[in-house]
């Protein structure tokens, strides 16, 4: 969260002329409720089940950009589904940058705690081994979404 997935996804979508699908938005549409409401009403485990169902469905598409929430990597099935027709790119930022980017957004249920910076550090530390399974890791510090998108495309071309 707060690493620029949505903004970078928009830039990639514009450049490639591919559709951008945001998993959280797709979840909200399918459940007819916000992510916050899903967390409050059903808890994180149910949210992760719904997330996995949505990822499985949209991963069948080709020539699209999928923006997932940061916790999607916690399930191996999500990683396998996302790799079916694409590559997994992890965007990173420091905890302080993530806090700054997310501080005005109340739609982050995992950050509705007394000390959000500590929670961000805890989440990043726990998720680090999962993020490291990505095909590409891009540091977003001090870069615009366009610069990040161009860096991704350059690395993808070099991989071929």
Structural domain including 84 reads: 5-159
Which of 3-7, 16-20, 103-107 has the largest mean confidence? 16-20
- Structurally, how many domains does the chain consist of? 1
Q: Does residue 159 surpass a pLDDT of 70?
A: no
Q: How confident is the model at residue 43 (pLDDT cuts 50, 70, 90)?
A: very high
| CA end-to-end distance (rounded Å), the chain | 29
Question: For residues 157 and 16, what is the distance between their CA atoms, to the nearest angstrom?
Answer: 13
pLDDT at site 117: 87
**CATH number of domain containing 65:** 3.40.50.300
pLDDT digits (tens, 9 = 90+) for 17-28: 999 999 999 999
What SS3 class is residue 22?
strand
HSE-CB at 8 with a 13 A cutoff on CA atoms is: 25
Phi, psi (rounded to 5 degrees) for 54: -65, -45
Distances (CA, A) of 9 to 37, 58, 60, 95: 25, 15, 18, 21
- In this prediction the pTM is 0.88
Please report the pLDDT score of residue 130 as a whole number: 94
């Amino acid at each position: 969260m707060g690493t620029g997935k949505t903004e970078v996804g928009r830039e990639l979508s514009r450049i490639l002329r591919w559709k951008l699908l945001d998993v959280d938005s797709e979840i909200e549409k399918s459940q007819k409720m916000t992510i916050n409401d899903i967390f409050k009403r059903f808890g994180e485990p149910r949210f992760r089940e719904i997330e996995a169902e949505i990822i499985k469905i949209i991963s069948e598409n080709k020539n699209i950009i999928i923006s997932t929430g940061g916790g999607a990597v916690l399930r191996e099935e999500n990683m396998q589904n996302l790799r079916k027709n694409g590559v997994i790119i992890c965007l990173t930022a420091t905890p302080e940058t993530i806090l700054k980017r997310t501080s005005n957004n109340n739609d982050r249920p995992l950050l509705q705690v007394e000390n959000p910076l500590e929670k961000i550090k805890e989440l990043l530390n726990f998720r680090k081994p999962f993020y490291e399974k990505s095909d590409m890791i891009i540091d977003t510090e001090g870069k615009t979404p366009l610069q990040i998108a161009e860096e991704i495309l350059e690395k993808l071309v070099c991989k071929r």
